């Protein structure tokens, strides 16, 4: 069996334990049968939830016909991610990470072990890009994907937006920076942050869309925990205003608790996850960002990957991770490549409301 064949590596990738992601899995889940395409482009359906009422009708009339809610279908070009890890002969002569000091592993044994390690490493890098893509899609109601080359100054930006015109319907603009609640003459003056979130919730519920979570950046999460009204209100046993009971959902997202926003109980999710960019830690959710939405508000779509293989022919594969083994005789080297073509889309028009720079 050729362990370097694409079909063998595809099976290995599919049986690998998937990396734990949050934003992608929670908000843009992928149905393998429906959302993975065998073509280079993907089809995205989304619609506006109808709010029309049913009319009263005279009995002798029978019934009045009503139209079905319409939806829009777009053919979109997904982003292209393709990364690789080289493997040279001299690397196989050295003991690998985690290998016994007196290991009897041969270079061929090390090559097989490194293949699985490299596939997992490459898949993890792609997962972090997918997390970034999920957050950016919600913040911008679309995304600009920068496609790079081997030269830093040569690139192409591919932009996708899920609204028409210049005005983004998902944007909420606070009138002023958020301020903490204060106590005056024995009564609370609730901070403007509370009413801004209430307005963001109404942007969704007024269109028949669910609002169940408030996803905030780490600095906004710290701001909310420091607000004196929250602790005072939650300590009031006569009124169920919510609860503060932090629960770690992932290594980088914490469920701070539940707050009642004008009768709507929303979970407060705080993200402090980061990724590396030019050796600097960059937060997935930028500082000062607030997103009101609900789980499963979108879909994770994947286009097919076409690649040139060792038989000299082009082959096309549908999947979320497509591997390729590349080798050269001179110089003697191998390369493990992993590719995917993701695009995350909303299920309806603007299923989230977003505010940025709320603490500025």
In terms of Cα–Cα distance, which of 176, 173, 179, 200 is closest to 191?
179
Which CATH number characterizes residue 251's domain?
A: 3.30.1930
Owner of token pair 């076409």: 306
Q: Is there a domain that residue 357 lies in?
A: no
User: Does 127 share its domain with 12?
Assistant: yes
Residue 60 falls within a domain, yes or no?
A: no
273 shares its domain with 145: no
Q: What is the DSSP letter of 30?
A: -
pLDDT of 18 reads 72
Q: Which of 252, 269, 295 lies at the terminal end of a domain, its last residue? A: 295
Specify the pLDDT at position 149. 85
Distance of CA 359 to the CA centre of its chain: 24
Are 16 and 154 in the same domain?
A: yes
Q: Are both 148 and 191 inside the same structural domain? A: no
**Would residue 309 count as lying in a domain?**
yes
Same domain? For 158 and 14 the reply is yes
| pLDDT at 50 (0 to 100) | 58
Q: Which helix (H) or strand (E) holds 230?
A: helix 228-234
Residue 82: the pLDDT is 92
pLDDT of residue 328: 78
Length of the chain: 360
Query: Does residue 88 lie within any of the structural domains?
Result: yes
Can you give the residue range of the structural domain that contains 150? 6-48+72-164+296-346
**267 contacts 212 by C-beta, under 8 angstroms:** yes
Alpha carbon distance 341, 301 (integer Å): 8
Based on the fold, state whether residues 191 and 267 are members of the same structural domain. Answer: yes
What backbone torsions phi and psi does residue 54 show, to the nearest 5 degrees? -85, 135
Model pLDDT, residue 150: 82
Instruction: State the 10-residue block means of pLDDT for the chain, 360 residues long.
Output: 74 79 94 90 70 60 56 77 83 58 63 82 93 96 89 86 89 96 87 96 94 96 91 56 59 89 93 92 96 96 91 91 85 85 93 96
Q: Are residues 125 and 32 in the same domain?
A: yes
pLDDT at 29: 95
Query: Based on the domain organization, do 40 and 142 belong to the same domain?
Result: yes
Q: Which residue has the tokens 């997992």?
A: 120
Q: pTM for the whole thing? A: 0.85
Output the pLDDT for position 301: 94
Residues 96 and 26 in one domain: yes
pLDDT at 241: 47
DSSP 29: -
């Amino acid at each position: 069996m050729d362990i370097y064949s694409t079909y063998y590596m595809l099976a290995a990738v599919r049986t690998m334990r998937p990396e734990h992601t949050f934003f992608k899995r929670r908000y843009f889940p992928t149905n393998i049968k429906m959302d993975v395409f065998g073509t280079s482009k993907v089809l995205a359906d989304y619609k506006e939830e109808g709010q029309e009422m049913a009319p009263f009708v005279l009995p002798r009339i029978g019934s009045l016909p009503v139209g079905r809610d319409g939806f829009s279908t777009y053919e979109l070009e997904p982003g292209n991610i393709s990364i690789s890890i080289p493997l040279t002969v001299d690397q196989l002569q050295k003991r690998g990470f985690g290998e016994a000091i007196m290991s009897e592993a041969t270079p061929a044994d090390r090559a097989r072990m490194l293949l699985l390690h490299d596939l997992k490493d490459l898949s993890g890098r792609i997962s972090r890009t997918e997390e970034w893509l999920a957050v950016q899609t919600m913040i911008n109601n679309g995304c600009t994907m920068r496609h790079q080359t081997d030269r830093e100054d040569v690139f192409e930006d591919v932009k996708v937006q899920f609204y028409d015109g210049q005005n983004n319907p998902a944007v909420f603009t606070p009138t002023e920076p958020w301020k903490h609640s204060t106590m005056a003459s024995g009564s609370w003056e609730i901070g403007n942050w509370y009413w801004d979130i209430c307005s963001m919730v109404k942007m969704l519920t007024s269109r028949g869309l669910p609002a169940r979570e408030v996803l905030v950046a780490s600095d906004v999460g710290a701001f909310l925990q420091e607000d004196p009204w929250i602790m005072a209100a939650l300590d009031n046993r006569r009124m169920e205003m919510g609860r503060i009971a932090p629960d770690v959902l992932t290594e980088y997202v914490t469920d701070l608790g539940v707050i009642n926003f004008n009768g709507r109980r929303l979970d407060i999710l705080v993200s402090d996850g980061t990724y590396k960019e030019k050796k600097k830690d960059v937060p997935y959710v930028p500082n000062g960002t607030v997103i009101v939405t609900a789980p499963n508000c979108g879909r994770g779509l994947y286009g097919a990957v076409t690649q040139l293989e060792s038989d000299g022919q082009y082959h096309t594969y549908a999947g979320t991770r497509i591997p390729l083994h590349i080798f050269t005789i001179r110089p003697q080297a191998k390369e493990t490549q992993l590719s995917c073509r993701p695009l995350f889309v909303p299920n309806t028009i603007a299923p989230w409301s977003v505010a940025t720079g709320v603490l500025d």
